[in-house]
Amino acid sequence: MASDKAKKEEKAATQYSLFFIQRFKGKVLFNVPMSEYTSFRIGGNADVMAFPQDEGDLKDILSFAEAKDFPVYILGAGTNLLVRDGGIRGIVINICEGFKEISWQEETRATVGAGVKLSELLNACKEKGLSGLEFSAGIPGTVGGAVIMNAGAFGGEMKDVVEGVEVLGRKGKKGFIPAVELGFSYRKTEVPKGSVVIRAHMLFTKSTPEAVGERVKETAGKRKGTARIAYPNAGSIFKNPEGLFAGRLIEEAGFKGAVSGDAQVSEVHANYIVNTGAARAKDVLALMALIRDKVYSLKGVVLEPEIKVIGED
């Protein structure tokens, strides 16, 4: 006899299927290995992954999930993410196949879809001779994800070029949040809970293609160390404490090259943990815990994760 939990899961799967068959225009996948959708190549299965094609699709799925009390997670390129080994219950909304438009207004303003790759936007800015995004050279991921985490490097951050964001909130209600209300801080943005960023309104500075290209080249040169990291990873694992570098603290604590299963602290940059084969989330989390404890013991510094950790054990 099926357990109550199995019956509940079967009923939820049926509800998912009926909704997507009847209304959804985009692609839908069931029982999806999250290892295929994160740069870490780690993670258990998600119940459902949906790829909305437009605002109508996204609005419908948000309303459906709220009505059924299904949890929702918004996924971009999966580059700053660790999914636990038990996977994700609910609906993963993957924005990478929709919301990919770049609409230019005037000379220096653009409305950019959340699914646009940051590298694609940077290339467009370089061609137009628009400055402000050069710091992002080499940062993977989408514009939506970059805004949510206020991505930055070498003195520049997304907050420097974002004027505001368009969001879909509860029951698919659309709104606009100006930058002054987004609470930009180090690797964080205060987007209201339940709201999905669908577009960013951005302002750049007029320059020349040659000057922007030169600054992009300089930024890429500064990144050449981490560019040598060959194994799958999620970028910087810990935030830099104020006035310090997490990588240096980790290296001084003796963790460069340390392993747990197939997870390894990179021998190139100590603030990167890499997947050398078939690492599991528990391996990465074990290394992170050891690093935090040792750095605090030796330096009195509490390291905060920069990556997002989601899902079930």
Catalytic positions, please? 187, 236, 306
DSSP assignment of 22-65 equals HH--SEEEEEEEGGGSSTT----EEEEEEE--SHHHHHHHHHHH
Of 116, 95, 73, 93, nearest to 202 (Cα)?
A: 116
Tokens 């964080």 — which residue? 188
Question: Which 3-state string (H, E, C) describes 91-107?
Answer: EEEEHHHCCCCEEEECC
Of 284, 200, 287, 195, nearest to 250 (Cα)?
A: 287
Helix (H, G, I), strand (E, B) or coil at 174: strand
The alpha-helical segments, DSSP class H, found in the chain are 4-23, 55-68, 118-128, 143-148, 209-222, 246-252, 281-299
Pairing verdict, β 72-75 and 88-94: parallel
Pairing verdict, β 88-94 and 45-51: parallel
